[in-house]
Chains A and B, each alone.
Chain A
Amino acid sequence: MVSFDIPQLSYFLLGPILIVLCGAVLAVVVEAFLSSRTRPKVQLGITLVTLVAALVQLWRIRGATTMDAAMGSVAIDGPAILFQGSILIMALLGVFLIADQQHFTVVASTLPGSSEERESLQSGEQMTEVYPLTLFAVAGMMLFPIATDLITLFVALEVLSLPLYLMAGLSRHRRLLSQEAALKYFLLGAFSSTFFLFGSSFLYGYSGSVSLSGIQAAVSSSSGNSVFLFIGIAFVSVGLLFKVGAVPFHAWVPDVYQGAPTPVTAFMAAATKVAAFGAMLRIFYTAFDNAYWEWRPVITTIAIITMLFGSFVAIAQRDVKRMLAYSSIAHAGFLLSGVIALNKAGLEATIFYLFAYGIVTIGAFAVVTLVRDSQGEVTDINRWAGLGKRSPMVATAFSLFLLAFAGIPLTSGFIGKFSIFSAAYESGNTLLVIVGVLSSAIAAYFYIRVIVLMFFTNPSEDATSVVIPSFLTSATIISAFVITLFLGVFPSPFLNFISSTATFIR
């Protein structure tokens, strides 16, 4: 007789994710039953309360270290708490931006240019499905870096990806571009998920187990056919590298960053990176660490190509969002250097970098949402000329974010870059450090070019205006500004916190 064990779930430890999922379901119900007038405020309230509650719950479980939260499918440990906390904070800041509904299409299901679209615009009955979608995505992102078996990883990957595909298509202005971006993201994302699943099946074939610890045990004892292992590692890596936007799996990044509504881009660019790199760190550090001889050269090559490609191509960009997209590709390369380091310093550096980079990214895109003309946002770089004259505060904030991207001292970006390169150097990867430094120098060029445009160039004829930021948008920009400076000048508390907690359990 087949016995059936009741799954033992620790609701307390899974609390943060469960809270977010409950909030998401509640938001779906609200979307269906509440009138369009009250909906935006209620939805925003629910989302913010959910995220804050999840953060509080996360704080309550901060010391926990266990594999038993969900029958060994998830690990609650230091890095897990750090990843989840980063994702929640970024989601909060992102939702502040999403609250400005000007960016979102009124009814997403109407055809661009159709009479239904005009009607919906006139009626002004704003749909607010973006809130539950955000919460579902956040739940997926929180699960992804703590999952310890391939099935859970795949489920989390899909839960985080599917809402994002939809969210990318919600832009109010230039809807065709937005929908094209969504479709591209969906198709390429589906491919990459398939690759991930395909790789997982090989890993299962190799080790007879879907859990990371099982795979690690099989790698250590080198039982099984190692060809299966290599294929498995390769295809799982493809799935992960796609999500982080590393070359040659980066093609979607510029289009999606450009097409998606900017608040969504901000949230996605920051939080997806944390989730995907979190999962990547966990897989490579706990499952594949003994096979590093096999994957390290490949990932090193990818990191080098990614850094150089992102930096070089960004120079040619004329659109702020595309420029930030290519810069995010370059940053994915820097982050990969931390993954490759495969030591504790690398883990800590990557976690710090992810947080610092995510906050800066949200701040930068928040500024992008403010620069508009009658047609919506203006992302043509040349039309940002003279911004420093007209709105010095906004231009100063954007300059600080650019300097942080470039890794100038006294910003969080510098500490991040320093720690990640020193980890790479420590692991003996001098080449990676040199390429990283050189591509930082290349990248500095286009960051500085934007600063020059804003401060040293006179405004062009069809000048843009900076809208008065809403309270929540200002809150996002100011928090990002303060965090970026604070982590640049006094990184110690956060670094200490990371180094005292960041140890993976198996």
Chain B
Amino acid sequence: MNWLIILGLIPLAGAFVLSALPAASELLAKRIALVTTLAVAGVAIAMATQFQRDNVDPQFVQSYSWIPTFGINFAVGIDGIALVLILLSSLLAPVVVLAGWNEAAGGRWSVKTFYILILILQTMIIGVFSASDVFLFYVFFEAMLIPVYFLIGGYGTGARAAAAVKFLLYSLFGGLLMLAAIIGLYVLSGEQGGHTFDIAALSNLQMSSTTENLLFLGFFIAFAIKAPVWPFHTWLPDAADSAAPGTSVLLLGVLDKVGTFGMIKYCLVLFPNASKTFTPLIITLAVISIIYGAMLAIGQKDFKRLIAFTSISHFGFITLGIFAMTTQGQSGATLYMFNHGFSTAALFLVAGWMAARRGSSTISDFGGLQRVTPIMAWSFFFAGMSSLALPGLSSFVSEFLVLVGTYTRYPVAAIIAAFGIVLAALYILIPIQRALHGPTTPGNESLSDLNLREKIAIAPVLAVILVLGFYPSPLLNVINPAAQHSISQAGFSDPLPTIETHSTAKVGE
């Protein structure tokens, strides 16, 4: 049996088991969810050990005929980039379940429903990263919205229904544009030797440059909304604000990566020429995202919105890395996706615990937390340092790679983007200073520190951030060949170094 299919079926099986439970047995539901997500994480790691990292062809390939009339296959197969993202989602899911142990309590529906939605979502996430059939990808891409919609609308806070609708409408709009582009591909493939949705076959299609540009835009706008890239970002702060912290982690940490993943796997591979044509525009949008997200993050008064805007800035970096069209940029971008997932998860979870204890997520309501709740405060500090890419923590490696990779081709963009790092220091350090340091503000004296469950949840996240900061090679070794392959598929080669290398023989003389 295929690894990917097993991986995708586990959460689905867990969801089935949960649906058979009576609504009253909440604790059992949580335990089943935790065990299921842990099992997925275990299987994902086992799968990763089986992955041949130097092989650039899709691995764990499996294909079943699904709708032969349209040439649609249920086909899966992953490269290094997809593997890293599947790992990310599989590792974060148990953390989310454990960290948000009591999150579902304030929901519209039962606790059990919450975990059913989470598990179904996990299956779809694995599906969307594994699909090697464009139609199958689209099905997961769209169907994924439904559980998220109910998670935000049913288990969020504040104006949750409105935020859920906004999220869904933005995503649906993008998805429908992509559908039009997919139909275009389908018809073109029919004209050139038979209807198919196989990515490899579609990447060989001949099309006029107008067609290619239009189809590219159909895909790119959908991904740019999902990622989100300025100016398609406005749904994100609302969604992150209203969703429960665990949902936000899944939304920003994992789901939004589908957008940037799609840019690599679909935009570049299917439409290499159009990618080239639009690169200047996209680089500009990415740089604007970086600076704009950072500027707005500085101005936020609320932790959740702050993290949402920092993510917009970070997604700018990821997009920049992807469209820099260098191996370093692309590897950096992929690593960034992974690291951003973890550092955002840490930020959101700790901020969520702070908010749950204080009953507010407004930054000015906090102060002097490090005295009252040292472990919680230092966890937040640690996550914040990762978010601003402190050397020694994981985000630094990826941000550095993206900037280096961009500089070799687009020096101006890289220089402007580098200012994003300076702004990052501001948007992270100011709230840290206000909330964690200084005198303890009234109302904070009796806050409790992290309990054992919360410590167990956050510890692995922080550990991953630290370890990958010093030793990113296990991931980079998997990512690099895939990134190189995708760059060369898009018809680019890395720019040669401008400095000539001297022969080492002379030095020895």
Which residues does A use to contact B, with CB under 8 Å?
Answer: 389, 403, 406, 408-410, 414-415, 417-419, 421-422, 425-426, 430, 433-434, 437-438, 440-441, 444-445, 448-449, 452, 455-457, 491-492, 495-496, 499
**Contact across chains for B69 and A441 when beta carbons are under 8 A apart:** no
Query: Which residues, 140 to 169 on B, are CB-close (under 8 Å) to A?
Result: 142-143, 145-146, 150, 153-154, 160-161, 164-165, 168-169
B176 A408 Cβ-Cβ under 8 A: no
In this complex, the member of A415, A448, A456 whose beta carbon has the largest number of chain B beta carbons within 10 angstroms is: A456
For the complex formed, measure the closest distance between the CB of B212 and the CB atoms of chain A, giving whole angstroms.
14
In the complex, the chain B residue whose C-beta lies closest to that of A389 is: B108
Quick one: closest B residue to A434, CB to CB? B180
A-B pairs with beta carbons under 8 A, tally = 86
Q: Given A448-B165, A452-B153, A455-B150, A492 and B67 touching (CB < 8 A)?
A: yes
Which one of A444, A452, A499 contacts B69 once the chains associate, using CB atoms below 8 Å?
Answer: A499
Known contacts A409-B143, A452-B161: does B67 contact A421 (CB below 8 Å)? no
The count of chain B contact residues (Cβ–Cβ below 8 Å) is 32
CB-CB under 8 A for A496 and B69, given A448-B165, A456-B164: yes
Complex formed: what's the CA distance from A419 to B153 in Å?
Answer: 32
Tell me whether B68 and A492 are in contact (CB under 8 A).
Answer: yes
Please name the 7 residue pairs, one residue from A and one from B, whose CB atoms are nearest each other, closest first: A456-B161, A409-B139, A495-B69, A437-B180, A409-B142, A441-B173, A437-B176
Assembled-state Cα–Cα distance A406/B118 (Å): 24
Question: Given the interface contacts A422-B183, A425-B187, does A492 sit within 8 Å of B150 by beta carbon?
Answer: no
- The answer on a CB contact under 8 Å between A421 and B183 is yes
Quote the shortest CB–CB distance from A432 to chain B (angstroms): 11
B187 with A448: CB separation less than 8 A:
no
28 pairs across A/B with beta carbons < 8 Å?
A: A389-B108, A403-B146, A408-B142, A408-B146, A409-B138, A410-B139, A418-B70, A418-B179, A421-B179, A422-B187, A425-B187, A437-B177, A440-B176, A444-B169, A444-B173, A444-B176, A448-B165, A448-B168, A452-B161, A452-B165, A455-B150, A455-B153, A491-B67, A492-B66, A492-B67, A495-B67, A495-B70, A496-B69
Contacts of B150 in A (CB 8 A): 455
Q: How far is the CA of A433 from the CA of B150 in the complex (A)?
A: 30
Assess the A426–B190 pair: CB atoms within 8 A: yes
Is B205 on the interface with A (CB-CB < 8 A)?
no
**Extra inter-chain contacts (16) besides given A418-B70, A426-B187, A452-B164, CB under 8 Å:** A408-B142, A408-B143, A409-B143, A415-B67, A417-B179, A433-B180, A433-B184, A437-B176, A437-B177, A437-B180, A441-B173, A441-B176, A452-B161, A455-B153, A492-B67, A495-B67
- Cα distance A410–B145 in the bound complex, in angstroms: 12
Residues of A within 8 A of B184 (CB): 425, 430, 433
| B187 with A449: CB separation less than 8 A | no
Given contacts A408-B142, A409-B142, A492-B66, contact A437 B179 (CB under 8 A): yes
Closest CB in chain B relative to A431 CB, distance in Å: 11
Give, as a whole number of angstroms, the nearest-CB distance from A401 to chain B: 14
**B187 engages A456 (CB within 8 Å):** no
In the assembled complex, which residues on chain B have CB atoms less than 8 Å from the CB atom of A403? 146
Flag if B173 contacts A422 (CB, 8 Å). no
Task: Determine whether B186 belongs to the interface, using a CB cutoff of 8 Å to chain A.
Answer: yes
Whole-angstrom CA separation of A356 from B173 in the bound complex: 23
Q: Shortest CB–CB separation between residue A494 and chain B, in angstroms?
A: 9
Contact A456 B176 (CB under 8 A): no
Query: Interface digits, B24-68 against A, CB 8 Å rule (1 contact, 0 not)?
Result: 000000000000000000000000000000000000000000111
Cβ of B375 within 8 Å of any chain A Cβ, yes or no, is no
Min CB gap A393→B, angstroms:
13
Q: A409-B138, A495-B69, A496-B69 are contacts. A418–B153 as well, Cβ < 8 Å?
A: no
Chain B contacts for A492, CB-based, 8 A: 66-69
Q: How far is the CA of A496 from the CA of B172 in the complex (A)?
A: 29
Q: CA A23 – CA B176 in complex, angstroms?
A: 46
A386 to chain B, nearest CB (A): 10
Q: Which residues of A contact B145 (CB under 8 A)?
A: 408
A421 to B145, CA, bound (A): 22
Contact of A425 among B154, B165, B183 (CB under 8 A): B183
Q: How far is the CA of A241 from the CA of B106 in the complex (A)?
A: 51
Q: Which residues of A contact B190 (CB under 8 A)?
A: 426
Given contacts A409-B143, A496-B69, contact A456 B138 (CB under 8 A): no
| Residues on A with beta carbons closer than 8 Å to the beta carbon of B153 | 452, 455-456
| Inter-chain contacts of B173 with A (CB < 8 A) | 441, 444
A96–B249 Cα distance when bound, in Å, is: 47
CB proximity of A481 to chain B, nearest CB, Å: 16
Nearest CB on A from B240, distance (A): 18
**Residue with the greatest number of chain A CB neighbours at <10 A, chosen from B70, B173, B183:** B183
Shortest CB distance B486–A (Å): 26
Q: How far is the CA of A499 from the CA of B168 in the complex (A)?
A: 34
Contact A456 B154 (CB under 8 A): yes
Complex CA gap A418/B178 in Å reads: 12
B161 surroundings in chain A (CB, below 8 A): 452, 456-457
Chain B min CB distance to A429 (Å): 11
Closest chain B residue to A422 by CB distance?
B183
Contact digits for B487-505, partner A, Cβ 8 Å, 1 yes 0 no: 0000000000000000000
A445 to B166, CA, bound (A): 10
Complex Cα gap A410–B136 (Å): 10
CA distance A408 to B160 in the complex (A): 22
How far, in angstroms, from A403 to B179 measured CA to CA in the complex? Answer: 16
Give every chain A residue within 8 A of B139 (Cβ-Cβ): 409-410
Among A409, A422, A452, point to the contact of B186 (Cβ < 8 A).
Answer: A422
**Are B67 and A410 in touch, CB under 8 angstroms?**
no
What separation, in Å, do the CA atoms of A375 and B313 have in the docked complex?
56
Return chain A residues, CB-CB under 8 Å to B142: 408-409, 414
